[in-house]
Structure 1
Amino acid sequence: MDLDNIVAIDIHTHAEEPCNCPRDDGYDQFQAGMARYFRNPAGVDGMLPTVPQTAAYYRERRIAAVIFGVDAERETGFRRHSNEDIARLAAENSDILIPFASIDPAKGRLGAREARRLVRDFGVRGFKFHPTMQGFFPNDRAAYPLYEAIAEEGAIMLFHTGQTGVGAGMRGGMGMRLKYSDPIHVDDVAVDFPDTPIILAHPSFPWTEQGLAVATHKPNVYIDMSGWSPRYFPPIFTQYANTILKRKMLFGSDWPAITPDRWLADFADLPIRDEVRPLILKDNAARLLGLGGRDAD
């Protein structure tokens, strides 16, 4: 990856289409609900972008992207997308894509073995957790064998926090329980794995201040700004991004639910200082991912 040719790094994109298998029953309705929530016609009108299509979109814009699926088959009944397939496709597009993976913590030692193999053999750089979709509290000790493997391999942990568009407006919220995604539960993980980089995904609504507190208090915790248009960021979130957390805020879109075109257009109108913008858009993520990048003054 030629970092000098990259204008931004999107730390949060999804591989929503199966790589080598058809969609599961019910998956169309699930994606249609997501599309309505995010006002994104792609999920309703047709298939969502594949990994190669995602790479082409981002390459055209000179934006690098961290990409992953979500292993939530235990809670949703939908087969997970293959971590190996996503990693292989990312490797074929390594000028623009950076592979993360997802493993349900309930897989215990089996999941830990998979995590080690994905890092060592497939170049996976981090792991995405979605407590609401996966039905677990992040500080549940049952998840620690997987965390230990990730920490020992030097990878990153990324946790969904706050409300989710998954199941929004669907009967019973599609069984999704918001309580699991309060970022305060990740505080315990940051204490127990102090040398492992941890990213809190999204502004953590309605627990925005808890997320800001955890990132402020724990040196290894960052926040990605995905999943929301910047025009809806709470004022305190923007204030911290501009000041106390300017080195720890990361651009993320939540592709394909929110496109970087939409996110960046709204971010341009946000009152962020000129010297902070490049940190959020590129440099903070570049350092976190070990790609280089400048520091703030």
Structure 2
Amino acid sequence: MAINVGDLTAIDVHTHAEISKDGHSSLSPDLLGASEKYFKAGGHRQPTIPEMADYYRERRMAAVVFTVDAEHSTGHPRIANEEVAESCAEHSDVLIPFASVDPWKGRAGVREARRLVTEHGVRGFKFHPSIQDFAPNDRMAYPLYEVIEELGVPALFHTGQTGIGAGVPGGGGIRLKHSNPMLVDDVAVDFPELRIILAHPSFPWQDEALAVATHKPYVYIDLSGWSPKYFPPQLVRYANSLLQDKVLFGSDYPVITPDRWLADFAKLDIKPEVRNKILKDNAAGLLGLS
């Protein structure tokens, strides 16, 4: 069943598949615990993908779902991209599958990315440079970007500080510098047709993210990972004006729920016509749903 955009109240472009069918977690216990503490979400349930579908269906929303493949740097096995895609396909009225391929996998990763799109219906790719321990402009990752650009699907990059590893000695080995949006600017230059989403308010590089999205026509920003009441004022100003066609609703579910996010977003001084673009219309266009 295809997504009926007209029936939706919103499209959440940033949600996490945190647990597999057999109970395997997407993160190690140490990193998961640090994330829960950072988001003050201690003991939050890790919903299965069918449970996520029910949750979003009840709210008349659609959601992009992905996990993170960081086996090279963490040693923790990922949740299979095929499982995410197949589970989303069973709930295709509300769920949109993205995949994650560790750039360190080289040509094997390139082959996997192509197969995931052509055979499993994947609609985009998630990168988390800090957890995956690579700079987005490292030429090592370029063959992967090349196939994603060729396939015509978006690439979503975590930007800014991360709750993953926060408070763990040494940050769990996670380097924040890899998530500077200016590193993604190089990717936008070298792959000019690649649709790129800069995930999150990009603390401490918010101005850099706004500059890249303003300068590069196919770079978007999602608003996930923060309650809107904490958004930097310049982000709100640009979302309400110059970037009104390029800003996307995202929650970071399950650590932040769309209910909480939307309640706080309703209190922001956003033009009514822009509010609809952020909540649904921009994402529908980017994802080819409208």
TM-score by length of 1: 0.95
The size of the alignment, in residue pairs, is: 288
Write the deviation string for residues 41-72 of structure 1: whole angstroms up to 9, x where unpaired: 344xxx41111111111110011000000001
Which region of structure 1 is more displaced relative to structure 2, 28-37 or 273-282? 28-37
Deviation (angstroms), 1:21: 5.0
* Number of the residue aligned with 1:289: 287
Instruction: Give the residue type in structure 1 aligned to 2:37.
Output: R
Q: Using the alignment, how far apart are the partners of 2:122 and 2:24 within structure 1?
A: 24
Q: Given that residues 18 and 25 in structure 2 are in contact (C-alpha distance below 8 angstroms), is that contact kept between their aligned partners in structure 1? A: no
Q: 2:73 aligns with which of 72, 75, 93?
A: 75
Does 2:166 correspond to 1:168?
A: yes
Q: Secondary structure at the match of 1:215?
A: helix
TM-score by length of 2: 0.97
Gap runs ≥5 in structure 2 = none
Q: Secondary structure at the match of 1:80?
A: coil
Q: Using the alignment, how far apart are the partners of 1:23 and 1:282 within structure 2?
A: 30
Instruction: Give the residue type in structure 2 aligned to 1:262.
Output: R
Superposition RMSD on alpha carbons, in Å? 1.2
Instruction: Give the residue type in structure 1 aligned to 2:29.
Output: D
4+ runs of 1 displaced by more than 2 Å?
18-24, 26-30
Q: 1:140 aligns with which of 138, 141, 144?
A: 138
Does 2:10 correspond to 1:8?
A: yes
Write the mapping of 1:19-168 to structure 2, written as runs, cut at 5 A: 19-23=21-25, 27-43=28-44, 47-168=45-166
Gap runs ≥5 in structure 1 = 293-297
Q: Given that residues 19 and 82 in structure 1 are in contact (C-alpha distance below 8 angstroms), is that contact kept between their aligned partners in structure 2? A: no
Deviation (angstroms), 1:23: 4.2
Q: Using the alignment, how far apart are the partners of 2:178 and 2:8 within structure 1?
A: 35
Does 2:189 correspond to 1:188?
A: no
* Number of the residue aligned with 2:226: 228
Does 2:251 correspond to 1:253?
A: yes
Deviation (angstroms), 1:18: 2.3
- Check 1:75–1:15 CA distance in 2 against 1; reply closer, same or farther (3 A cut): same
Q: Given that residues 162 and 202 in structure 1 are in contact (C-alpha distance below 8 angstroms), is that contact kept between their aligned partners in structure 2? A: yes
Instruction: Give the residue type in structure 1 aligned to 2:36.
Output: A
Deviation (angstroms), 1:74: 1.3
Deviation (angstroms), 1:230: 0.5
Q: Using the alignment, how far apart are the partners of 1:231 and 1:66 within structure 2?
A: 23
Q: Secondary structure at the match of 2:50?
A: helix
